[in-house]
Structure 1
Amino acid sequence: MATLQTWIAMPASPRHAPPLRFLIVATLILALLHAYIGLRLLPYLPVPDWVRGLGIAWLIFSWLVLPLTLLSRFIRHRGLADALGWVGALTMGLFSSLLVFTALRDGFIALVWLLLPERFEPDAVVWSAVAVPLLALLMTLIGFLNARRRARIVEISIPLAGLPPALHGFTIVQISDIHVSATIKRGYLNAIVDAVNALEPDLIAVTGDVVDGRVAQLAAHTAPLANLKARHGAFFVTGNHEYYSGEAEWSAEFARLGLIVLKNRHQVLEHQGASLVIGGVTDYRADQFVPQEASDPHAALAGAPTDAAVRILLAHQPRSAEAAATAGFDLQLSGHTHGGQFWPWNYFVRLQQPYVAGLHRHGKMWVYVSRGTGYWEPPKRLGAPSEITRLRLVSAPPDSYRPGTADYDHNSSGA
């Protein structure tokens, strides 16, 4: 008979597993939210009782499976873990839309009833209860199709004053937040690598959150990263999910695959007679996992030649920008936000990060935030398409700096 250890892979550190208290609290909150959806929708649906019963059964199933999804990475049996991951991710996406539309429905009904009681129609309670699950299903389907297709190519020009002619047109292809996991595997990553290589970049920047799971589980699926090709190589910085998944092991694995891992350090590149500094920092909250790896843009630039034409920082989270600008970088490339991934969560990202997506000006430094090349948990993208970003350095006149400029125009193409 299989032992418990045969089926469950215990985390190497308690930091890698969700705390028991968190799981209990999350389960209780999810119970309340599922009950809210059921009480506000099911009694008003004009359907037979057996259909209403199916609705209750789905809500109970959803409530039970969502907490289990958080633990799927610790299941040794990969078939079971992947199945649970897929079911949980799809369920999470549908539940999210159901919750949002149920709340919007209640808000709309309450607003009409309070402000325009003479216009309130009881039938609206019925048809709106029908509309909510239909809209949730439609958004989940469209979001799934958007998430599962290969990321589009986004073209960005970065205007830099004083850029030497040798670096005009220097291209960086950025990929970020792929989240190789139960639902994103080798085939998905192969398509990304092929698209990146087709762009023939001078440099490739991988700005963190490549994985969700341990090396033993996912190494076969991250192997395509070894095929990344660029004139000056592919550079990697850690994201918060690498620390959730065993950062030391993953950094070693990525180095084995040929990526240049930058942890609060830099490399100087010579390109047609001009020098360029490419620096990288650990994740903004890395010190919560490894105290000696606190993110430090100043350390990443320490010892760099003062006459370097351009200083570029790879930093997973946009909120590294303040320290990066102070340190003296000209451009920061980040990810982490997913652009919100799907509505309405893009509005909540702004509560934590200074920038959500696109090109922004932070003092004298440019910040570009990728919407991510994969997705996290729900295979769902709406209003925030995934991207493979091709950034091109271009010369700008000395007086082109304008404080506060944000969301520089860009074009996109791709599948």
Structure 2
Amino acid sequence: MSSALFVALVVPALAAVHYYVWRRVVRDTTAPGSRPRRAGTALLVLLGVLLVAAPPAESALPKPLAVTVGWPGFLWMAGILYLCFALLVAEAVRPFLLRAARRGTPDGTVPDPSRRLFVNRSLALAAGAATAATVGYGAATALGPPTIKHLTVPLARLDPRADGFRIAVVSDIHLNSLAGRARARQISDLVNGTRPDLIAVVGDLVEDADVAELGPEVAPLARLSAPHGAYFVTGNHEHYSGARQWIDFVRQLGLRPLVNERVALPGFDLAGVTDASGTEEGLGPDYGAALDGRDPGRAVVLLAHQPVQVHEAVKHGVDLQLSGHTHGGQLWPFNHLSRLANPAVAGLHRFGDTLLYVTRGTGFWGPPVRLGADPDITVVTLAAPRTSPS
């Protein structure tokens, strides 16, 4: 989105939402001209400014300042969302409470001002408490260690030699000013702790930044180790900042980028395609280069960042596609909205003869909050078909 379009569309909408929150949380609960009203107004204005400033601050400011702006700004993105939800629920309750407040008044129509104020303050306090608990839980989930999941996937063409082959799938780490080097080290240790045969990193290592800026944060991924190696395909966020630099960098770390190519492994082929967003820089996905000309009797596992790429995978006879991108929706209710843009949001799904597994990823985009979509690292165990004894 261009800066002009952002200012024209998003800023007025944000201003309207902040006005609604101010009206219910500040104006309706404080006296005109009072110190609490002035303080509440100033706090809401500051949070609104930080919300707008947080995304550009990640790349425009030195890291200490970016962190100072980013933490409150990005948390407030989630905070105002859930505070609005809570206040809208309160709107449904408000008429009943005000009706109760009218009882016992002389004319029975207008509640005593102190009773109205009590209702307004009670609803604002309840909405604020619910929001704080929700965002706090979501932040602890997003910043905590990802869950290790285990999934067995039978593949009809898998050579018996590869039966039990274990692939650790990690995606959407989104290293940035809020989650950097320590997060990369934690994820590397968790992945290595699963003792996989192979590691598949399926895109979005970083959040829209150059190697010069975030390379040191990504460097601990050099610790990733598996007998058959660690592989990488680009996600959309690598292409936003120039994917070639990240392809070269992860190769230096010891990960092998699969740029529209495949490798033969014992019992199956492993292929990888770049993200569709790479077309503009001449690095778009080339399924023919990655998948054509192979032995049709061998199973093939495809690494592709976006679940929507499964439609091409079906055309090329892929047995299993491993993807990320969706974050499982990251924030309720967006997990439901994500289904409008993706054929699958999380888990294992079948499309024709092709299986698609979508991990929820380990990181976050925007707010450091996850609700209804816990971060995960998935160990996929490949299973060969069982033959009946004669």
TM-score, normalising length: structure 2: 0.87
2:77 is aligned to: 92
- 1:295 equivalent to 2:291? Answer no
Alignment of 1:64-83 (within 5 A): 64-83=49-68
Shift of 1:369: 0.7
1:9 is aligned to: none
Write the letter of the residue equivalent to 2:334. Answer: W
Q: 2:15 aligns with which of 20, 25, 31?
A: 31
In terms of Rg, which structure is larger? 2
Alignment of 1:11-22 (within 5 A): 19-22=2-5
Write the letter of the residue equivalent to 1:173. Answer: A
Write the letter of the residue equivalent to 1:254. Answer: V
Distance 2:7 2:48 in 1: 12
Alignment of 1:394-405 (within 5 A): 394-396=383-385
Q: 2:273 aligns with which of 256, 281, 287?
A: 281
Shift of 1:164: 2.7
Look up the SS of the partner of 2:84 in the other structure. helix
Shift of 1:328: 0.8
Distance 1:286 1:355 in 2: 22
1:306 is aligned to: 296
Distance 1:282 1:169 in 2: 27
Distance 2:155 2:120 in 1: 56
1:42 is aligned to: 26
Shift of 1:348: 1.3
CA 1:65/1:157 → structure 2, altered by over 3 Å: closer, same or farther? same
Distance 2:326 2:62 in 1: 31
Distance 1:367 1:34 in 2: 41
Write the letter of the residue equivalent to 2:83. Answer: L
Residues 143 and 382, structure 1, Cα contact 8 Å, conserved in 2? yes
1:409 is aligned to: none
Query: Structure 2, unaligned stretches of length 5 or more?
Result: 102-115
Residues 298 and 323, structure 1, Cα contact 8 Å, conserved in 2? no
- Residues 60-80 of structure 1, C-alpha deviations (whole Å, 9 max, x = no match): 112211221121133252222
Residues 29 and 120, structure 2, Cα contact 8 Å, conserved in 1? no
Distance 2:274 2:68 in 1: 32
Distance 2:336 2:221 in 1: 32
- Residues 37-63 of structure 1, C-alpha deviations (whole Å, 9 max, x = no match): 222443443789433433322221122
CA 1:46/1:39 → structure 2, altered by over 3 Å: closer, same or farther? closer
Distance 1:200 1:55 in 2: 52
Aligned length: 368
CA 1:294/1:40 → structure 2, altered by over 3 Å: closer, same or farther? same
Residues 266 and 304, structure 1, Cα contact 8 Å, conserved in 2? no
Residues 142 and 364, structure 2, Cα contact 8 Å, conserved in 1? yes
- Residues 89-120 of structure 1, C-alpha deviations (whole Å, 9 max, x = no match): 222221222233233444x359xx6xxx8996
Q: 2:378 aligns with which of 389, 399, 403?
A: 389
- 1:348 equivalent to 2:341? Answer no
1:139 is aligned to: 134
Look up the SS of the partner of 1:64 in the other structure. helix
CA 1:268/1:27 → structure 2, altered by over 3 Å: closer, same or farther? same
Residues 97 and 136, structure 1, Cα contact 8 Å, conserved in 2? yes
Distance 1:131 1:53 in 2: 21
Write the letter of the residue equivalent to 1:355. Answer: A
Distance 1:86 1:60 in 2: 16
Write the letter of the residue equivalent to 1:358. Answer: G
CA 1:154/1:52 → structure 2, altered by over 3 Å: closer, same or farther? farther
Write the letter of the residue equivalent to 2:125. Answer: V
Look up the SS of the partner of 1:229 in the other structure. coil
- Residues 192-234 of structure 1, C-alpha deviations (whole Å, 9 max, x = no match): 1011111111111101111012211111110111111111111
Distance 2:5 2:43 in 1: 24
1:151 is aligned to: 146
Greater mean deviation of Cα atoms: 41-50 or 61-70: 41-50
Write the letter of the residue equivalent to 2:143. Answer: R
Write the letter of the residue equivalent to 1:226. Answer: A
2:211 is aligned to: 215
Write the letter of the residue equivalent to 1:151. Answer: P
1:245 is aligned to: 241
Write the letter of the residue equivalent to 1:215. Answer: V
Look up the SS of the partner of 1:241 in the other structure. helix
Distance 2:59 2:380 in 1: 38
Write the letter of the residue equivalent to 2:288. Answer: H
Shift of 1:162: 4.2
Shift of 1:121: 5.0
1:267 is aligned to: 263
Shift of 1:284: 2.6
Distance 1:218 1:118 in 2: 53
Residues 50 and 70, structure 2, Cα contact 8 Å, conserved in 1? no
Distance 2:99 2:284 in 1: 57
Distance 2:305 2:382 in 1: 20
Distance 1:119 1:87 in 2: 34
Distance 1:307 1:23 in 2: 51
Shift of 1:265: 1.7
Look up the SS of the partner of 1:350 in the other structure. helix
Of all paired residues, the percent bearing the same amino acid is 37
Query: Structure 1, unaligned stretches of length 5 or more?
Result: 1-17, 399-415
